[in-house]
Amino acid sequence: MKKLFITCFVFLCTLTAVNAIGFNDAIGKSAEKPALIFVYAKWAPDYQVHLANFNRLKQELGAEVNYVDMDISNPGNSEAADFNKKYYVYPNLPYVIMLRSGGNVCRYIPNECSKDYSCSKAKVSAFLKK
């Protein structure tokens, strides 16, 4: 049992690191590869459900997408603070943004959809096909 727990823990730690980059890098690199940005605050309603769905997308999509986890409630994260000043997202947390073409093509997965894995996956799949 202990070995299984350690294996799962290592897998989850590895999973969260898949192509994890910052928001500004994601915009710049979205010309080469689309980006999924999970915008959240740990105190937001259903945060754990959204996080589990985002991590599942990471696992299934792998390296074809860049991933950004942005905790905008973290006062030490200047990138998140700048993002929140520009887009003022606090009332709508958590949600997912999809970027492509240097940030020129952007789609938003609303809170209710990002809570539902099948809805999230359908939106991301459709975005990646265009």
C-alpha 53/C-alpha 120 separation (Å) is 8
Q: Where are the domains of the chain?
A: 22-129
Maximal CA-CA distance, the chain:
48
Average pLDDT of span 109-117? 88
pTM, 2 dp: 0.74
- Which H or E run includes 50? helix 47-61
Q: Pick the most confident of 2-11, 40-49, 89-98.
A: 40-49
C-alpha span between 125 and 130 (Å, rounded): 9
Determine the pLDDT at residue 57: 93
Single-letter amino acid, residue 56:
R
Rounded CA-CA distance 19/5 in Å is: 24
Ramachandran bin of 82, using left for φ above 0, alpha for ψ from -120 to 50, beta for the remaining angles: alpha
- The pLDDT tens digits of the residues spanning 60-101 come to 988 889 898 888 877 777 777 777 777 666 667 888 889 888
| Cβ 99 vs Cβ 105: under 8 Å | yes
Q: CATH topology for 22-129? A: Glutaredoxin (3.40.30)
Which residues on neighbouring strands pair with residue 26, listed in sequence order? Answer: none
Q: Assign 48 a pLDDT band (cuts: 50, 70, 90).
A: very high
pLDDT at 28 over 60: yes
Given a cut of 50, whether residue 7 has pLDDT beyond it is: no
The residue ranking higher by pLDDT, 13 or 110, is: 110
8 A C-beta contact, residue 45 and residue 114: no
Can you tell me the mean pLDDT for 37-56?
90
